[in-house]
Structure 1
Amino acid sequence: MTSHEARPSGCAPFEEELVNAMNRYANCADAPDFDAPGIVRRTRRRRAVGIAAVATALIVAGGGTALASMSDGTGHRARPAVSGTVAKNDAATMLFQFSDGQTLPIDFAGWSLDGFKSYVLKTQTKLGTVTERPVTGCKPGSVLAISPHTPKTVKAGDTVNVVLCAK
């Protein structure tokens, strides 16, 4: 409709052209097609994958918690640790035996006394005597030897003595 034609509805020319344009658009545009069952399937699949991801994360976190319980809280794990020029030796390695019979060798060489004490608490062993020995090339206050050490096993409730590098 042009602006020169009569206005049948009594509307202003702009309003009439706007209504006509909207009607043309509404009549030529296709209505959207929704695949409701497909949407439901995708939603369920995504939900299942999300639940599986959360469950996996919880399992991994649980495993991480078990591993973290075997650390001394400072990031040290039960692994060989050497400090300065002191060589790794069996005198600083404890062979811890769990209640199920499995054993874990733990090398305390170079660990601090605080780290050693916290690990003793976690393994439910008792800290015995703490002595110091002057050794060149070691970090003062670090673990040099423990008793009993490998090949003897230590169980929960046993007493462990420690020798530190003199300050």
Structure 2
Amino acid sequence: MTSSDARPSGCTPFEEELVNAMKNYADSADAPAFDAPGIVRRTRRRRTVGIAAVTAALVVAGASTALASMSGGDGVRGSVASSGAARSGKDTVVVVGKPGDSFTIDFAGLDLVFAKQLLLKSRLELGTVGRADPEGCKPGSVIAADPHSPALVPVGGTVNLTLCSR
């Protein structure tokens, strides 16, 4: 046989040896073992732990919001002027929300700019701004709000303020 003669397999001896070596290697290698049920269990466990963590965070956030609203909080609470000249009474306190889910804002002694910020933060609209001249008030401070406590102002409602004109 010469190199020009055709081989019955159509391959050279080197090619035949190479093919046989690859077949032996492929037949001897073990297939990897996958623990499919274990992978599914780990994935479900991780998902459950993640959902539990998110739920716990939401519960904590809800509890802190509930505590803040029970204490009259929500961070929306005006303060009385330190001069002591501002009257703090129910005519400057606005109750916002709905029955059972409300918070209060005390506008007594606040200036108009800060009162507007509190209204905006509380999602309320500023109505008319009136002026009055009672005894012993700080000029430009809020001396009355309408509607005031015990009336309930819904979110998105309008509040009218009266300022000291002295």
TM-score with structure 1 setting the length: 0.51
Unaligned runs of 5+ in 1: 1-55, 72-76
The answer to whether the aligner puts 1:144 opposite 2:143 as a matched pair is yes
Letter in 2 for 1:94: V
Find the structure with the greater CA-based Rg.
2
> For the structure 1 residues 141 and 79, does the alpha-carbon distance in structure 2 shift closer, same or farther, using more than 3 Å as the test?
closer
Deviations, residues 76-129 of structure 1 (Å, cap 9, x unaligned): x5155245333321110001116x941222211001111110111111111000
Q: Give runs of aligned pairs for residues 13-52 of structure 1, distance below 5 A.
A: none
Q: Give runs of aligned pairs for residues 12-161 of structure 1, distance below 5 A.
A: 70-71=74-75, 78=77, 81-82=80-81, 83-97=83-97, 101-161=100-160
Q: Which residue of 2 aligns with 1:162?
A: 161
Unaligned runs of 5+ in 2: 1-56
| SS of equivalent residue, structure 2 residue 91 | helix
> For the structure 1 residues 86 and 79, does the alpha-carbon distance in structure 2 shift closer, same or farther, using more than 3 Å as the test?
closer
Distance, in Å, in 2 between the alignment partners of 1:119 and 1:85 is 21
Q: Which residue of 2 aligns with 1:52?
A: none
Give aligned pairs, total. Answer: 103
| SS of equivalent residue, structure 2 residue 108 | coil
Distance, in Å, in 2 between the alignment partners of 1:79 and 1:118 is 10
Is the contact made by 1:78 and 1:106 (CA closer than 8 Å) also made in structure 2? yes
Deviations, residues 113-159 of structure 1 (Å, cap 9, x unaligned): 11110111111111000011112211111110000000001121111
| SS of equivalent residue, structure 2 residue 113 | helix
Deviations, residues 39-80 of structure 1 (Å, cap 9, x unaligned): xxxxxxxxxxxxxxxxx9xx89xx69xx7x954xxxxx5155
Letter in 1 for 2:86: V
| SS of equivalent residue, structure 1 residue 89 | coil
Distance, in Å, in 1 between the alignment partners of 2:122 and 2:86 is 26
RMSD across aligned positions (CA): 3.2
Share of identical aligned residues, percent?
34
Distance, in Å, in 2 between the alignment partners of 1:123 and 1:137 is 29
